[in-house]
């Protein structure tokens, strides 16, 4: 595959540096990026020569979440098309979550919606201190469906209920306390902090690393085919609802959705 939305560089240590590379669109998860991340996980991320994958975002932020133009198309599509497109997103997250190579997130600027989901499928994520986060789907009449199992597996149900429904934006320190990222560091220290996560993998057996990662997943919350199918159905269902159509239409019209508080008069 020719990568249009990703930058991929393999260094001489076998560390793959993968960059979400559509900065003018805030690295949104478009249909093309979803396909390319799935492909990357099954090739670069599964290659025996790859010791670790570092995932970052180009430009001002890591990832602004799902491509709303793509979501708008699903609202206008028939249900089989919605289900098929929702499955592509779910399978991308599953591919990243299950690839045997360690996945290390380098998070900066912002991670919203699906961007939080991608951070949560990383084995470890490091953020700049100024990074902001948010599961912002409900502002648009949507829900964090396909990312949900991975977010809850990372932060637990109690923490998820703090941030899952309110669309509240929070800082890197709270993301650390929730468990979304392991550390928040000054910008000047980000590369060193990411390298500190990479370095140990250069001294351990790659096959054992993959087997240990699979063991951790097996012992943790179950994210099986039935769970994934349920999230696909829930996402397709919400795309069919009136709130999703109203929320996304309001976004493109640059107007508040009907459930938003009216602006206060000064």
96 or 2: whose pLDDT is higher?
Answer: 96
Q: What is the mean pLDDT of the chain?
A: 95
Q: Which of 133, 186, 189, 191 is nearest to 162 (CA)?
A: 133
CA atoms of 46 and 115, how far apart (whole Å): 22
Q: Each residue of 193-235: pLDDT tens digit?
A: 999 999 999 999 999 999 999 999 999 999 999 999 999 999 9
pLDDT higher than threshold 70 for residue 8: yes
Q: Each residue of 128-139: pLDDT tens digit?
A: 999 999 999 999
pLDDT higher than threshold 90 for residue 143: yes
With beta carbons less than 8 A apart as the criterion, state whether 125 and 117 touch: no
Q: Does domain 6-189+196-219 fall into CATH 3.90.226.10?
A: yes
Q: Each residue of 21-77: pLDDT tens digit?
A: 999 999 999 999 999 999 999 999 999 999 999 999 999 999 999 998 998 898 889
The band of 265, judged by pLDDT with boundaries at 50, 70 and 90, is: low
Percent of the chain with pLDDT over 90: 94
CA atoms of 65 and 47, how far apart (whole Å): 27
Q: Where are the alpha helices (DSSP H) in the chain?
A: 31-42, 68-76, 79-98, 114-121, 148-163, 172-178, 190-198, 206-219, 225-239, 242-253
CA torsion, ordered 110, 38, 232, 107, to nearest 10 deg: -10
The band of 263, judged by pLDDT with boundaries at 50, 70 and 90, is: low
**Prediction pTM value:** 0.95
> What are the domain boundaries of the chain?
6-189+196-219
pLDDT higher than threshold 90 for residue 175: yes
């Amino acid at each position: 595959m020719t990568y249009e939305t990703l930058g991929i560089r393999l260094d001489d240590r076998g560390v793959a540096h993968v960059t979400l590379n559509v900065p003018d669109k805030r690295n949104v998860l478009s249909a093309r990026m979803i396909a390319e991340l799935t492909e990357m996980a099954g090739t670069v991320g599964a290659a025996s020569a790859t010791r670790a994958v570092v995932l970052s975002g180009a430009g001002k932020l890591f990832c602004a979440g799902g491509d709303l133009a793509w979501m708008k198309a699903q609202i206008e599509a028939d249900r089989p098309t919605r289900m098929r497109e929702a499955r592509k997103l779910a399978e991308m997250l599953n591919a990243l979550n299950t690839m045997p190579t360690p996945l290390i997130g380098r998070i900066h600027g912002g991670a919203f919606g699906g961007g939080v989901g991608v951070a949560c499928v990383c084995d470890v994520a490091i953020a700049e201190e100024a990074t902001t986060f948010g599961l912002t789907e409900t502002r648009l009449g949507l829900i964090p469906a396909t990312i949900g199992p991975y977010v809850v597996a990372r932060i637990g149900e109690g923490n998820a209920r703090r941030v899952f429904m309110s669309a509240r934006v929070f800082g890197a320190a709270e993301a650390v306390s929730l468990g979304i990222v392991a550390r928040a560091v000054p910008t000047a220290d980000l590369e060193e902090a990411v390298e500190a996560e990479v370095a140990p993998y250069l001294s351990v057996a790659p096959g054992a690393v993959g087997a240990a990662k699979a063991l951790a997943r097996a012992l943790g919350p179950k994210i099986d085919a039935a769970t994934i199918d349920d999230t696909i159905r829930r996402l397709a269902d919400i795309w069919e609802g009136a709130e999703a159509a109203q929320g996304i239409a309001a976004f493109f019209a640059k107007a508040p959705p009907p459930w938003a508080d009216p602006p206060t008069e000064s």
